[in-house]
Chains A and B, each alone.
Chain A
């Protein structure tokens, strides 16, 4: 008789193979002790954390930590329920007001995670008569949001405004009730959306545009508002979603819009209605981190300096990388190399933790050793990462690069 668990057996087999080749389970790494924003104890040794998306290094910012401690003492450890049922704490509303000021938008909604923000927005904004046109490389939270909703979902080729235009043209009148979805910085290869060109297309066809700034908030733009600010098209972006769990060093998500009507959408979003709200400590540290991010030009400068140092160092070793310098730097390995897990394990044993990404999660196939940089990394740590990569570089054949 078949067991409920039979379908998971291939996962167990893959896991066993990965452990055999890398010496650890790449998808269940236990961080035994956190030392700082960039270091932790893993497998009994001190490791440089180079895959945590902690872009501004604010997880140990003294002001953010102090704000969280005060909130937990004054308001408790959790809200024990959803905002619709238990009520919003004043701090939830204050954070939404601060986000509207930061983005200069009339409406903002705070969610419990970035994943839930996309789930809520993508499943609810568009209805059965509407269309979602999403970039093929969009994050799983965007795909999952569309599956929870009823709109027709069509993909366009990654970062290809001409392909987007072709699809909008086919939709004819329906283009006007179409939501185009792109990301500021794509999470796997670190490349940016061609946002000016995409804005131009969506404007000509009268469509709406949502930009997920999860990896670009705090990273791009003079004030850290993301790619839309960086390329000066904020007025043309209808919705921005994002997360508190990267540059803001906390947990949570948000959506802001130039459409005040977004305020009413919250009452229809199941992922908002039926989830417990963020705890007081998370909201408090996020609010403080948002201030730090807004005035964080020095942090951004340090982050980009670190990103440039690592990218150029890896490029000099002839690794195949993502198309542009970015705080997300992915070393691309062909599937045929079949050695990505072993190289990942070698990096870990050299004291460097990066993300191992295997097909089918990778764009265009192949495997990735994905690094994400932090403003809190020192040049010494970047150089230690490069030394570790130099060691694995020596183990690769020329045709694997």
Chain B
């Protein structure tokens, strides 16, 4: 089973190419306001996450996701359930 820290580290690597500015990525980093994701980029990122972790990510979780940490929490649960 992967820890939240493991998931967080992998997520930061997946998110990094999307960041318009060279900011430090971490649990508290905002995906929209800091990384600068728009609605389509979010969808692209979700597909990449699905490939990387070999899971399906329901779109229903997205309204609750503001930060990379929020995403990591959801992924941890999805990975446990899968």
The residues of A with any CB-CB pair to B shorter than 8 Å are 136, 146, 152-155, 157, 167, 170-171, 359-360, 365
Contact = CB atoms under 8 A, between A and B. Distances in A.
B66 interface: no
A360 B38 contact: yes
Interface stretch (B4-12, B19-27, B57-65): B57-65
Contacts of A157: 47
B49 to A, nearest CB: 12
Q: Which 3 A-B pairs give the minimum distances between C-beta atoms?
A: A360-B40, A153-B59, A152-B58
Contacts of A146: 59
Contacts of A136: 43, 47
Contact of A359 (B40, B43, B47, B82): B40
B55 interface: yes
Given A136-B43, A154-B58, A157-B47, 16 more contacts: A136-B47, A152-B58, A152-B60, A153-B58, A154-B56, A154-B59, A155-B43, A155-B46, A155-B47, A155-B59, A167-B56, A170-B55, A171-B56, A360-B39, A360-B40, A365-B40
Contacts of A167: 56
Interface residues of B, number: 13
Contacts of B60: 152-153
Contacts of A154: 56-59
B77 to A, nearest CB: 13
A170 B58 CA distance: 12
B75 to A, nearest CB: 14
A155 B48 CA distance: 12
A359 B41 CA distance: 11
Interface string B28-62: 00000000001110010011000000011111100
Contacts of B43: 136, 155
A365 B41 CA distance: 10
27 contacts: A136-B43, A136-B47, A146-B59, A152-B58, A152-B60, A153-B58, A153-B59, A153-B60, A154-B56, A154-B57, A154-B58, A154-B59, A155-B43, A155-B46, A155-B47, A155-B59, A157-B47, A167-B56, A170-B55, A170-B56, A170-B82, A171-B56, A359-B40, A360-B38, A360-B39, A360-B40, A365-B40
A136 B45 CA distance: 13
Nearest to A361: B40
Contacts of B38: 360
Nearest to A363: B40
B37 to A, nearest CB: 11
B32 to A, nearest CB: 13
Contacts of B47: 136, 155, 157
Most buried by B among A154, A157, A170: A154
A90 to B, nearest CB: 41
Contacts of B56: 154, 167, 170-171
Contacts of B40: 359-360, 365
A360 B43 CA distance: 11
B45 to A, nearest CB: 12
A153 B56 CA distance: 10
Nearest to A151: B60
A136 B47 CA distance: 10
Most buried by A among B43, B56, B82: B56
A167 B55 CA distance: 8
A155 B60 CA distance: 11
A360 B41 CA distance: 9
Contacts of B46: 155
A332 to B, nearest CB: 16
A155 B61 CA distance: 13
Nearest to A169: B56
A202 to B, nearest CB: 16
